[in-house]
Structure 1
């Protein structure tokens, strides 16, 4: 049904300027992503001839992706990344939530002391060299578990869990204890299932971080078969010679690819899984951001 626009002229101008500004912002955000995607499907040697490729590939080619996927190194790196993201996220969420649940109990001995010690870690962290020596003494260097154990707990994420756990009615736990459930069973069977919004939020945060982390593989592993995809991408981008990159990606020097085209194709490959997974967790993510904002 048609209704009369009751906005004043000033409000109409202001609203339209907002729309224009948002469209410009969206374009400025999305176009670089589209540009990378289009160029990754363009013939590498054609892109080097000059000119800009705007909306569609000027000379469509799958040689860039063919070169990347034929390299055994990138598939190994992708497997490491998937494994560390899944395992690391599950253990991080479970362990951090378990500690947060314990700290949410008022009867916990020295509870305030634990909170003070945890708060200090938000402002002060171990320097690089002591952290390296600590991981070396634990025997985690050049092992897969260097991606998992040091990142199983985050006090910042604990605070988010804590805010949610404090809103869970005490009656749920009391009823479970009457039925004979212990604290661990209550945490697994009751607390975690009703905390899915915050669980999904923390899982998204940590999962994206695990997927994008390249520094850990760069600093703490020397074995090529233990390096994640982001470290692989970093090494690709760090190369300055086309011959070096082509030699590292299967020796396909005669293919119509360049160092730049392989960089772009690798960037698309490493980014796509997160882009695909994000919409499925977005609804939990929005709920999780509202934690603590309303009290009911």
Structure 2
């Protein structure tokens, strides 16, 4: 009887905590989404909006009429897609030979990679390096510096070690070279780990605005997150310049909220597609035999 009572208390506390944490997450998110559909008069009150008296698409019309926001959205999509594909490929291309014990100089390469995980040049030396490479005000500043992450290489290395050597030996007997084995055997078998790396890097690429903040002054190369940063700064200074054609029923805050929703939706849509690979990829990549 005592055990049943303890179990009920435990279940009650768990349910209470889960409901509390869910509300802490869901309520602010709901407020942002529903407020983006509110009119300027409703937002001007400054109250918490659970359900506005009148729904309006004026905030979204203002955002979509602004050519700079649409251009920034396309830049964000382009840098995320290209960045994820190149990052995953380069990490896998390095991880595959590093997963082989017979690779000459493997310990040296490993030590060099691990060093980059703990030590960096800092902001100013990195800026000087980017400038010397001619990447300032270039789209490729989003791609080239993010090509490799040794943390992701380690995850892929441990996954590649789980692939039976007999598969590669059979392919070599049939005349396949290392590139063909890597592209046609290793990569197709590594979808869970590759999807995990793609998810991590994709979220980082999509949410990144510091790269544009530090290395880009050409506004035509601004990603959506940098444009959102500008809108937030302008809203704090009560300035509506460079936001787009103003509509009577909109405010700077409304445009800001609509932009936040537009920025978040792509990640929310893509995440469920990769979630089935996420746990298996992390577990296989994290366990070292």
Which TM-score band (shorter chain)?
over 0.9
**1:182 corresponding residue in structure 2:** 177
Q: Note the 1:11-90 alignment, pairs <5 A.
A: 11-54=7-50, 56-90=51-85
Contact 1:241/1:259 (CA < 8 Å) preserved in 2? Answer: no
> What TM-score do the two structures reach when normalised by structure 1?
0.93
Q: How far is the alpha carbon of 1:6 from its aligned partner?
A: 11
**C-alpha distance 231-63 of structure 1, shift in aligned 2 (>3 A):** same
Contact 1:92/1:151 (CA < 8 Å) preserved in 2? Answer: yes
Aligned structure 1 segments of 4 or more residues deviating by more than 4 angstroms: 292-296
Matched, 1:285 2:281: no
Q: How far is the alpha carbon of 1:179 from its aligned partner?
A: 0.8
Contact 1:42/1:60 (CA < 8 Å) preserved in 2? Answer: yes
**1:251 corresponding residue in structure 2:** 245
How many corresponding residue pairs?
A: 288
Matched residue SS, 1:251: coil
Q: How far is the alpha carbon of 1:7 from its aligned partner?
A: 5.9
Q: Note the 1:217-228 alignment, pairs <5 A.
A: 217-228=212-223
Matched, 1:94 2:89: yes
**2:201 corresponding residue in structure 1:** 206
CA-atom RMSD in angstroms: 1.7
Contact 2:117/2:150 (CA < 8 Å) preserved in 1? Answer: yes
Once the two structures are superposed, residues 113-172 of structure 1 have per-residue CA deviations (whole angstroms, 9 ceiling, x without a partner) of 000111111110121111111111111111110000110000010010011011110001
Contact 1:65/1:262 (CA < 8 Å) preserved in 2? Answer: yes
- Contiguous gaps of at least 5 residues in structure 2: none
Q: How far is the alpha carbon of 1:28 from its aligned partner?
A: 0.5
**C-alpha distance 222-6 of structure 1, shift in aligned 2 (>3 A):** same
